[in-house]
Amino acid sequence: MINKKPLFLLLSLGALVIFAVFFGWEEVGKQLSRANPATMGLLFLLQLATLALTTFQWKFMLIKSGSSVSAGKIFSVILAGNYVESITPAAKLGGESAKVYLFHRLTALPGRQLAGIILALKYYSLLPFLALAALSFGLGSWRYQLPPAVPGAFIFLVLFFGAVWWLHKKAGTTKSPSARNDRTRRDEKPGRTVNLVCSKYHAVGSFIREASVSSRSQVNYLEQLGLIFISALIWSLYPVKIFIVCRMLSLETDLATVTMITFTAYMISMVPLLPGGLGSFEGSMALLFSLAGILPVYGLSVALLSRLATYWFPLLLSVPVAVFIAGDLVKGLPPAGSTNETGRSSQGFLVKQQFTEGE
Protein backbone atom coordinates (compact mmCIF):
# COMPACT_ATOMS: atom_id res chain seq x y z
CA MET A 1 0.00 0.00 0.00
CA ILE A 2 2.86 2.39 0.73
CA ASN A 3 4.11 2.18 -2.85
CA LYS A 4 0.65 3.02 -4.19
CA LYS A 5 0.44 6.39 -2.42
CA PRO A 6 3.02 8.16 -4.63
CA LEU A 7 1.21 6.60 -7.61
CA PHE A 8 -2.01 8.36 -6.60
CA LEU A 9 -0.12 11.63 -6.37
CA LEU A 10 1.44 11.09 -9.80
CA LEU A 11 -2.01 10.38 -11.26
CA SER A 12 -3.24 13.65 -9.79
CA LEU A 13 -0.30 15.56 -11.26
CA GLY A 14 -0.97 13.87 -14.59
CA ALA A 15 -4.56 15.11 -14.46
CA LEU A 16 -3.32 18.68 -13.90
CA VAL A 17 -0.96 18.41 -16.88
CA ILE A 18 -3.81 17.15 -19.07
CA PHE A 19 -5.99 20.11 -18.00
CA ALA A 20 -3.18 22.57 -18.73
CA VAL A 21 -2.58 21.09 -22.19
CA PHE A 22 -6.30 20.96 -22.97
CA PHE A 23 -6.96 24.57 -21.98
CA GLY A 24 -3.74 25.88 -23.49
CA TRP A 25 -0.38 25.31 -21.83
CA GLU A 26 1.11 28.62 -23.00
CA GLU A 27 -1.86 30.67 -21.79
CA VAL A 28 -1.87 28.89 -18.43
CA GLY A 29 1.84 29.57 -18.06
CA LYS A 30 1.26 33.22 -18.97
CA GLN A 31 -1.37 33.60 -16.26
CA LEU A 32 0.76 31.83 -13.66
CA SER A 33 3.65 34.18 -14.44
CA ARG A 34 1.46 37.09 -13.35
CA ALA A 35 1.57 35.89 -9.76
CA ASN A 36 2.70 38.66 -7.43
CA PRO A 37 5.20 37.55 -4.72
CA ALA A 38 3.66 39.86 -2.11
CA THR A 39 0.16 38.59 -2.84
CA MET A 40 1.32 34.98 -2.75
CA GLY A 41 3.01 35.72 0.57
CA LEU A 42 -0.33 36.99 1.88
CA LEU A 43 -1.99 33.75 0.75
CA PHE A 44 0.67 31.72 2.56
CA LEU A 45 0.06 33.75 5.74
CA LEU A 46 -3.69 33.14 5.48
CA GLN A 47 -3.04 29.42 5.13
CA LEU A 48 -0.80 29.49 8.19
CA ALA A 49 -3.67 31.23 10.00
CA THR A 50 -6.00 28.33 9.15
CA LEU A 51 -3.40 25.85 10.43
CA ALA A 52 -2.98 27.92 13.60
CA LEU A 53 -6.75 27.89 14.21
CA THR A 54 -6.82 24.11 13.71
CA THR A 55 -3.91 23.79 16.17
CA PHE A 56 -5.87 25.85 18.71
CA GLN A 57 -8.87 23.53 18.35
CA TRP A 58 -6.71 20.49 18.98
CA LYS A 59 -4.93 22.10 21.94
CA PHE A 60 -8.26 23.05 23.50
CA MET A 61 -9.63 19.52 23.10
CA LEU A 62 -6.45 17.95 24.50
CA ILE A 63 -6.56 20.26 27.51
CA LYS A 64 -10.18 19.25 28.09
CA SER A 65 -8.98 15.62 27.96
CA GLY A 66 -6.42 16.30 30.68
CA SER A 67 -3.34 16.39 28.47
CA SER A 68 -1.07 19.42 28.13
CA VAL A 69 0.91 19.46 24.88
CA SER A 70 2.77 22.40 23.39
CA ALA A 71 1.26 24.10 20.36
CA GLY A 72 4.43 23.39 18.39
CA LYS A 73 4.11 19.63 18.84
CA ILE A 74 0.41 19.72 17.99
CA PHE A 75 1.22 21.73 14.87
CA SER A 76 3.81 19.11 13.85
CA VAL A 77 1.34 16.24 14.27
CA ILE A 78 -1.28 18.13 12.24
CA LEU A 79 1.25 18.66 9.46
CA ALA A 80 2.18 14.96 9.51
CA GLY A 81 -1.50 14.03 9.32
CA ASN A 82 -2.00 16.50 6.47
CA TYR A 83 0.88 14.85 4.63
CA VAL A 84 -0.85 11.46 4.77
CA GLU A 85 -4.14 13.09 3.80
CA SER A 86 -2.51 14.87 0.85
CA ILE A 87 -1.23 11.67 -0.74
CA THR A 88 -4.25 9.43 -0.13
CA PRO A 89 -7.80 9.76 -1.56
CA ALA A 90 -9.92 9.40 1.57
CA ALA A 91 -12.53 12.19 1.78
CA LYS A 92 -10.36 14.10 4.28
CA LEU A 93 -10.06 11.07 6.55
CA GLY A 94 -6.75 9.69 5.36
CA GLY A 95 -4.66 11.56 7.90
CA GLU A 96 -6.91 11.01 10.91
CA SER A 97 -5.61 7.54 11.76
CA ALA A 98 -2.07 8.94 11.63
CA LYS A 99 -3.09 11.70 14.06
CA VAL A 100 -4.59 9.15 16.46
CA TYR A 101 -1.39 7.13 16.46
CA LEU A 102 0.95 10.14 16.78
CA PHE A 103 -1.09 11.87 19.49
CA HIS A 104 -1.27 8.56 21.37
CA ARG A 105 2.53 8.37 21.41
CA LEU A 106 2.72 12.04 22.39
CA THR A 107 0.07 12.12 25.12
CA ALA A 108 -0.50 8.46 26.10
CA LEU A 109 -4.25 9.15 25.86
CA PRO A 110 -6.27 6.05 24.89
CA GLY A 111 -6.93 5.60 21.18
CA ARG A 112 -10.68 5.65 21.82
CA GLN A 113 -10.46 9.07 23.45
CA LEU A 114 -8.32 10.49 20.65
CA ALA A 115 -10.70 9.03 18.08
CA GLY A 116 -13.49 10.78 19.98
CA ILE A 117 -11.65 14.10 19.67
CA ILE A 118 -11.21 13.59 15.93
CA LEU A 119 -14.87 12.63 15.55
CA ALA A 120 -15.99 15.74 17.44
CA LEU A 121 -13.69 18.06 15.47
CA LYS A 122 -14.80 16.46 12.21
CA TYR A 123 -18.43 17.12 13.14
CA TYR A 124 -17.66 20.71 14.16
CA SER A 125 -15.88 21.26 10.82
CA LEU A 126 -18.42 19.57 8.56
CA LEU A 127 -21.43 21.34 10.06
CA PRO A 128 -20.53 24.88 8.84
CA PHE A 129 -19.10 23.47 5.60
CA LEU A 130 -22.38 21.70 4.85
CA ALA A 131 -24.29 24.93 5.46
CA LEU A 132 -21.97 26.92 3.17
CA ALA A 133 -22.00 24.17 0.53
CA ALA A 134 -25.82 24.04 0.62
CA LEU A 135 -26.03 27.82 0.11
CA SER A 136 -23.50 27.60 -2.73
CA PHE A 137 -25.36 24.70 -4.32
CA GLY A 138 -28.64 26.59 -4.11
CA LEU A 139 -27.15 29.78 -5.54
CA GLY A 140 -25.39 27.87 -8.32
CA SER A 141 -28.56 25.95 -9.24
CA TRP A 142 -30.51 29.21 -9.38
CA ARG A 143 -27.96 31.03 -11.53
CA TYR A 144 -26.57 28.31 -13.77
CA GLN A 145 -27.25 24.87 -15.17
CA LEU A 146 -24.84 22.88 -13.04
CA PRO A 147 -23.29 19.64 -14.31
CA PRO A 148 -24.58 16.34 -12.81
CA ALA A 149 -21.39 15.98 -10.76
CA VAL A 150 -22.45 18.85 -8.51
CA PRO A 151 -25.73 17.41 -7.17
CA GLY A 152 -24.01 14.03 -6.94
CA ALA A 153 -21.24 15.54 -4.81
CA PHE A 154 -23.81 17.33 -2.65
CA ILE A 155 -25.65 14.05 -2.02
CA PHE A 156 -22.33 12.42 -1.08
CA LEU A 157 -21.59 15.29 1.32
CA VAL A 158 -25.01 14.98 2.97
CA LEU A 159 -24.59 11.21 3.39
CA PHE A 160 -21.05 11.64 4.70
CA PHE A 161 -22.19 14.29 7.18
CA GLY A 162 -25.10 12.05 8.19
CA ALA A 163 -22.67 9.25 9.01
CA VAL A 164 -20.46 11.58 11.06
CA TRP A 165 -23.54 13.02 12.81
CA TRP A 166 -24.76 9.54 13.74
CA LEU A 167 -21.35 8.50 15.04
CA HIS A 168 -21.04 11.71 17.06
CA LYS A 169 -24.61 12.03 18.34
CA LYS A 170 -26.20 8.56 18.38
CA ALA A 171 -23.63 5.75 18.37
CA GLY A 172 -23.25 4.24 21.82
CA THR A 173 -26.49 5.70 23.18
CA THR A 174 -28.14 2.27 23.27
CA LYS A 175 -27.08 -0.18 25.92
CA SER A 176 -24.49 -2.59 24.54
CA PRO A 177 -24.27 -6.25 25.55
CA SER A 178 -21.96 -7.04 28.41
CA ALA A 179 -18.52 -8.41 27.73
CA ARG A 180 -19.55 -11.64 29.43
CA ASN A 181 -22.53 -12.14 27.10
CA ASP A 182 -20.34 -11.35 24.10
CA ARG A 183 -17.83 -13.93 25.28
CA THR A 184 -20.60 -16.50 25.77
CA ARG A 185 -21.93 -15.95 22.25
CA ARG A 186 -18.43 -16.27 20.83
CA ASP A 187 -17.91 -19.54 22.70
CA GLU A 188 -21.09 -20.90 21.15
CA LYS A 189 -19.79 -20.27 17.63
CA PRO A 190 -18.21 -23.34 16.01
CA GLY A 191 -14.66 -22.98 14.83
CA ARG A 192 -11.69 -20.86 15.80
CA THR A 193 -11.93 -18.61 12.72
CA VAL A 194 -15.55 -17.67 13.44
CA ASN A 195 -14.64 -16.92 17.06
CA LEU A 196 -11.80 -14.68 15.91
CA VAL A 197 -14.05 -12.80 13.48
CA CYS A 198 -16.70 -12.30 16.18
CA SER A 199 -14.06 -11.13 18.62
CA LYS A 200 -12.72 -8.55 16.15
CA TYR A 201 -16.25 -7.44 15.27
CA HIS A 202 -17.11 -6.79 18.90
CA ALA A 203 -13.76 -5.07 19.51
CA VAL A 204 -14.33 -2.67 16.61
CA GLY A 205 -17.93 -2.08 17.71
CA SER A 206 -16.78 -1.35 21.24
CA PHE A 207 -14.10 1.03 19.94
CA ILE A 208 -16.67 2.98 17.88
CA ARG A 209 -19.18 3.15 20.75
CA GLU A 210 -16.63 4.40 23.25
CA ALA A 211 -15.13 6.89 20.77
CA SER A 212 -18.63 8.21 20.10
CA VAL A 213 -19.42 8.60 23.80
CA SER A 214 -16.05 10.30 24.31
CA SER A 215 -16.71 12.73 21.44
CA ARG A 216 -19.93 13.91 23.12
CA SER A 217 -18.51 14.25 26.62
CA GLN A 218 -15.43 16.36 25.82
CA VAL A 219 -16.98 19.84 25.83
CA ASN A 220 -20.14 21.64 26.92
CA TYR A 221 -22.67 23.36 24.66
CA LEU A 222 -21.05 26.82 24.67
CA GLU A 223 -17.62 25.32 23.96
CA GLN A 224 -19.12 23.39 21.05
CA LEU A 225 -20.49 26.62 19.61
CA GLY A 226 -17.06 28.22 19.96
CA LEU A 227 -15.35 25.35 18.13
CA ILE A 228 -17.99 25.42 15.38
CA PHE A 229 -17.45 29.19 15.03
CA ILE A 230 -13.71 28.64 14.61
CA SER A 231 -14.39 26.01 11.93
CA ALA A 232 -16.72 28.43 10.15
CA LEU A 233 -13.97 31.08 10.30
CA ILE A 234 -11.49 28.61 8.79
CA TRP A 235 -13.85 27.77 5.93
CA SER A 236 -14.66 31.44 5.32
CA LEU A 237 -11.00 32.13 4.58
CA TYR A 238 -11.01 29.83 1.54
CA PRO A 239 -13.19 31.98 -0.77
CA VAL A 240 -11.22 35.01 0.44
CA LYS A 241 -8.03 33.36 -0.87
CA ILE A 242 -9.69 32.58 -4.20
CA PHE A 243 -10.98 36.17 -4.46
CA ILE A 244 -7.48 37.53 -3.77
CA VAL A 245 -6.11 35.40 -6.62
CA CYS A 246 -8.87 36.65 -8.94
CA ARG A 247 -7.94 40.23 -8.12
CA MET A 248 -4.27 39.44 -8.66
CA LEU A 249 -5.09 38.17 -12.16
CA SER A 250 -7.42 41.16 -12.80
CA LEU A 251 -10.51 38.98 -13.24
CA GLU A 252 -13.84 40.78 -13.03
CA THR A 253 -15.99 38.83 -10.58
CA ASP A 254 -17.75 39.33 -7.25
CA LEU A 255 -17.26 37.70 -3.88
CA ALA A 256 -20.65 35.94 -3.96
CA THR A 257 -19.79 34.19 -7.24
CA VAL A 258 -16.33 33.28 -5.98
CA THR A 259 -17.83 31.88 -2.76
CA MET A 260 -20.28 29.74 -4.73
CA ILE A 261 -17.52 28.45 -7.00
CA THR A 262 -15.13 27.80 -4.10
CA PHE A 263 -17.43 25.69 -1.95
CA THR A 264 -18.90 23.85 -4.93
CA ALA A 265 -15.40 22.92 -6.11
CA TYR A 266 -14.36 21.84 -2.60
CA MET A 267 -17.57 19.83 -2.31
CA ILE A 268 -16.68 17.93 -5.50
CA SER A 269 -13.08 17.47 -4.37
CA MET A 270 -14.25 15.78 -1.14
CA VAL A 271 -15.40 12.75 -3.14
CA PRO A 272 -12.47 10.33 -2.57
CA LEU A 273 -11.06 9.97 -6.08
CA LEU A 274 -7.56 11.46 -5.96
CA PRO A 275 -5.31 12.68 -3.10
CA GLY A 276 -6.48 15.97 -1.60
CA GLY A 277 -9.04 16.32 -4.39
CA LEU A 278 -6.12 17.18 -6.66
CA GLY A 279 -7.36 17.36 -10.24
CA SER A 280 -11.06 17.23 -9.39
CA PHE A 281 -10.85 20.60 -7.61
CA GLU A 282 -8.97 22.31 -10.43
CA GLY A 283 -11.18 20.86 -13.16
CA SER A 284 -14.34 21.77 -11.26
CA MET A 285 -13.18 25.33 -10.68
CA ALA A 286 -12.30 25.81 -14.37
CA LEU A 287 -15.76 24.56 -15.36
CA LEU A 288 -17.59 26.65 -12.76
CA PHE A 289 -15.73 29.81 -13.73
CA SER A 290 -16.72 29.17 -17.35
CA LEU A 291 -20.38 29.05 -16.25
CA ALA A 292 -19.83 32.49 -14.71
CA GLY A 293 -18.57 33.84 -18.04
CA ILE A 294 -14.82 33.52 -17.39
CA LEU A 295 -12.67 31.48 -19.75
CA PRO A 296 -11.72 28.04 -18.34
CA VAL A 297 -8.02 28.80 -18.72
CA TYR A 298 -8.39 31.66 -16.23
CA GLY A 299 -10.39 29.48 -13.87
CA LEU A 300 -7.71 26.79 -14.02
CA SER A 301 -5.02 29.40 -13.36
CA VAL A 302 -6.92 30.67 -10.32
CA ALA A 303 -7.25 27.12 -9.02
CA LEU A 304 -3.56 26.34 -9.54
CA LEU A 305 -2.37 29.51 -7.82
CA SER A 306 -4.76 29.13 -4.89
CA ARG A 307 -3.77 25.49 -4.44
CA LEU A 308 -0.16 26.58 -4.32
CA ALA A 309 -1.08 28.15 -0.98
CA THR A 310 -3.73 25.73 0.29
CA TYR A 311 -2.28 22.38 -0.87
CA TRP A 312 1.35 22.55 -1.99
CA PHE A 313 2.57 24.99 0.67
CA PRO A 314 1.27 22.86 3.60
CA LEU A 315 2.51 19.72 1.84
CA LEU A 316 5.98 21.27 1.52
CA LEU A 317 5.92 22.12 5.23
CA SER A 318 4.73 18.64 6.17
CA VAL A 319 7.34 16.61 4.26
CA PRO A 320 10.32 17.30 6.59
CA VAL A 321 8.03 16.91 9.62
CA ALA A 322 6.74 13.56 8.34
CA VAL A 323 10.27 12.36 7.57
CA PHE A 324 11.50 13.39 11.04
CA ILE A 325 8.56 11.74 12.82
CA ALA A 326 8.91 8.58 10.71
CA GLY A 327 12.59 8.34 11.61
CA ASP A 328 11.80 8.88 15.27
CA LEU A 329 9.14 6.14 15.17
CA VAL A 330 11.51 3.68 13.52
CA LYS A 331 14.10 4.33 16.23
CA GLY A 332 11.48 3.74 18.92
CA LEU A 333 10.15 0.43 17.56
CA PRO A 334 11.42 -2.88 18.95
CA PRO A 335 13.08 -5.32 16.54
CA ALA A 336 10.73 -7.18 14.21
CA GLY A 337 9.38 -10.34 15.82
CA SER A 338 10.46 -9.33 19.31
CA THR A 339 8.08 -9.14 22.25
CA ASN A 340 7.44 -6.29 24.63
CA GLU A 341 7.01 -6.46 28.36
CA THR A 342 3.49 -7.85 28.04
CA GLY A 343 4.71 -10.68 25.84
CA ARG A 344 2.97 -9.55 22.68
CA SER A 345 4.76 -9.54 19.35
CA SER A 346 5.77 -6.07 18.10
CA GLN A 347 4.37 -6.90 14.67
CA GLY A 348 0.78 -5.73 14.46
CA PHE A 349 0.76 -4.57 18.09
CA LEU A 350 0.61 -0.86 17.26
CA VAL A 351 -2.47 -1.31 15.12
CA LYS A 352 -4.13 -3.69 17.53
CA GLN A 353 -3.37 -1.48 20.51
CA GLN A 354 -5.94 1.17 19.66
CA PHE A 355 -8.69 -1.49 19.71
CA THR A 356 -7.59 -3.12 22.96
CA GLU A 357 -6.79 -0.12 25.18
CA GLY A 358 -8.89 0.03 28.29
CA GLU A 359 -10.36 -3.46 27.93
The values of phi and psi at residue 167, to 5°, are: -65, -40
Q: What's the pLDDT at 356?
A: 42
- CB-based contact 128:228 (threshold 8 Å): yes
- CB-based contact 161:267 (threshold 8 Å): no
CB proximity list for 53: less than 8 A, separation 6 or greater: 230, 233, 234
Q: What is the DSSP letter of 345?
A: B
List the domain boundaries for the chain: 43-237+252-286+295-332
- CB-based contact 72:59 (threshold 8 Å): no
Q: What is the DSSP letter of 339?
A: B
Paired strand residues for 339: 345
CB proximity list for 261: less than 8 A, separation 6 or greater: 136, 242, 285, 288, 289, 292, 299
Q: What's the pLDDT at 346?
A: 37
Q: How far apart are CA 297 and CA 275, in angstroms?
A: 23
Q: How distant is the alpha carbon of residue 351 from its chain centre?
A: 20
Local confidence pLDDT in tens for the 359 residues of the chain: 344 555 655 666 666 677 677 777 788 888 889 999 999 999 999 999 999 999 999 999 999 988 888 999 899 899 888 887 777 655 455 577 788 888 888 888 888 888 899 999 999 999 999 999 999 999 999 999 999 989 999 999 999 999 999 988 876 565 544 444 544 444 454 555 655 555 555 555 665 777 777 777 788 899 999 999 999 999 999 999 999 999 999 998 999 999 999 999 999 988 866 655 667 888 889 999 999 999 989 999 999 999 999 988 988 988 888 777 766 655 554 444 444 443 443 333 343 444 344 44
Q: How far apart are CA 118 and CA 129, in angstroms?
A: 16
